[in-house]
A and B are shown apart, each in its own frame.
Chain A
Amino acid sequence: MTRLSRRAFALAAGTAGLSLAAPGVLHAQSTGRLVVIGGGFGGASAARYARIAFPRLDVTLIEPKATFVTCPYGNLLLAGERTLPQITHSYDGLKARGVRVVQDWADGIDATAKTVRLRGGQTVPYDKLILSPGIAIRWNAIEGYNEAAAEALPHAWVPGAGEQTTLLRRQLEALPDGGVVGFAIPPNPFRCPPGPYERISMVASYLKKHKPRAKIIALDAKDAFSKQGLFQDAWNELYPGMIEWVPLNKDGRVTKVDAREKVFETELGTRHKVDVGNVIPPQSAAKIAIDAGLTNETGWVPVNPLTFESVRARDIHVFGDANIGQVMPKSGYIANSTSKVAVAAAAAALEGRPAPGPTVYFNTCYSHVGDEYGISVVGVFRPTETGFAETPNSGGVSPRGPLAQQREQRRLEALYADAWYASITKDAFS
């Protein structure tokens, strides 16, 4: 039965020749078909881990892009400290492990028939579906901010092939000294809570070296943000007078943009003219999760905190940025660490074992704020009856204090951030 459907899938997907070469399918006895949608931090980690820990599972990864450009370290690209190839990863490592990689979009999920419909026309059957498709931008949630506007005011928040991040970099290079760089920052929850502030820091670092008279205005839809004290200490010390952060209660929420004139307009009607504008818009779970009916009124996917199974559809596990993970942040680290719990739960069900018991979910987010200057936030989380909770008396942010006192801590954290990037991308793509 399983064997037949696998053959049928291979033929339908037109990958019969390929699948013969893929070592994973040499197994006479597959314990089930695990189909993964999305080859980002969550999905790639899931596919790789599934092949290592549950070698008798048949693993298929559906991802439209030939290579994956990471959001992490994209902010260093903006500062001119990384190149696009340095943050681009191929799927060759996963293929060598026996993951069948299908380069296509998943256009629909039939949770009753347990199939995924691909844009190319094929239908892929699954026993367990692993969904880590990331975010979608809520176009027009800020008036005037649509796909065309993003060509003038890049979001650079969903990397695609890197177009948006490289566009923002080119705009920064073309900025006149004395020009203004504007940021529009969304309310919670959104992908990577410290991300906008790391970006502000990296852009400031670039401007300080190359256009020291330029200014940054950051318009925020929140009154507080991740690692706020640490970021603001660093801005005062490293980039004095360069960055103005405007919180919600000082009319910081951008409600409208004019892409042609490069104007950000806030709730009370203040118009801020910028030379380069980065709009980080409000977000939701990716389209496929919405289309499959997995999201609730928040726009994100509710899941069982022990298994990451969707509460709306059986046999579909959703993790990474697409789910409701509060109080865990939407981070690559969380996508990676929770992917393994979801896969273990799915594999246990397929192999007739009980689901793994409650475990620990773990996050470290580093941010670069200047040369040899890194800060971090750590979180140790556990599942509860209703969601996720921080483990009391654990985690937290780097110690505050003047650079003169904290130089070694900051230097080490910048070094460890680089090691983190190398480690986690290996754990997902190698």
Chain B
Amino acid sequence: MTRLRPALLGLALALAPAAALAQSAPAPLIALSCAGCHGPAGAGEGSVPRIAGYDREAFVQSWAAFRANERPASIMNRIARGFTDAEVAELAAYFAALR
């Protein structure tokens, strides 16, 4: 996953944004709905935490805790129950790879 430093990003956008963007691995479809609350690419927004760069193991563990209602939650507990272990692993791998 190639990331551009912010200083370079502006230049790259001005010159060849599509080429620059093409270098990043596309996000798995399943991860894209998270953007609705956690912001594009899991960057976080307001009171909703950033999940980009979240440690992979910790992600899987937090998810399991949400699912079992063992971690304080307002809505993630309701969401967590709807995803399979394989799906959670895919989400964990994707968000862990984002910087």
Contacts and interface: CB of A to CB of B under 8 A. Distances in A.
B95 to A, nearest CB: 15
Interface stretch (A116-124, A266-274, A278-286, A333-341): A333-341
Interface string B8-21: 00000100111101
Interface in A326-374: 333, 336-337, 340-341, 344, 356, 359-362, 364
Contacts of A250: none
B36 A362 contact: yes
Interface SS of chain B: helix
Contact of B22 (A55, A380, A396): A55
Interface stretch (A135-143, A158-166, A407-415): A407-415
Contacts of B26: 53-54
A398 interface: yes
Main secondary structure on A side of the interface with B: helix
B22 A420 contact: no
Interface residues of A, number: 49
Interface in B6-42: 13, 16-19, 21-22, 26-27, 29-30, 32-33, 35-40
Contact of A415 (B21, B30, B46): B46
Interface of B: 13, 16-19, 21-22, 26-27, 29-30, 32-33, 35-40, 45-48, 74-75, 78-79, 81-83, 87
26 contacts: A23-B16, A23-B18, A53-B26, A54-B26, A55-B18, A97-B17, A98-B17, A337-B36, A340-B29, A359-B30, A360-B82, A361-B33, A364-B36, A364-B79, A378-B75, A378-B79, A380-B81, A393-B81, A395-B78, A413-B74, A419-B37, A419-B46, A423-B40, A424-B37, A426-B39, A427-B35
Interface of A: 23-24, 26-27, 49, 51-56, 96-98, 333, 336-337, 340-341, 344, 356, 359-362, 364, 376, 378, 380, 391, 393-396, 398, 409, 412-413, 415-416, 418-420, 422-424, 426-427, 430
Given A359-B30, A380-B81, A422-B39, 16 more contacts: A24-B18, A340-B32, A360-B82, A360-B87, A361-B33, A364-B75, A376-B75, A378-B75, A393-B82, A394-B83, A413-B74, A418-B47, A423-B38, A423-B45, A423-B48, A424-B36
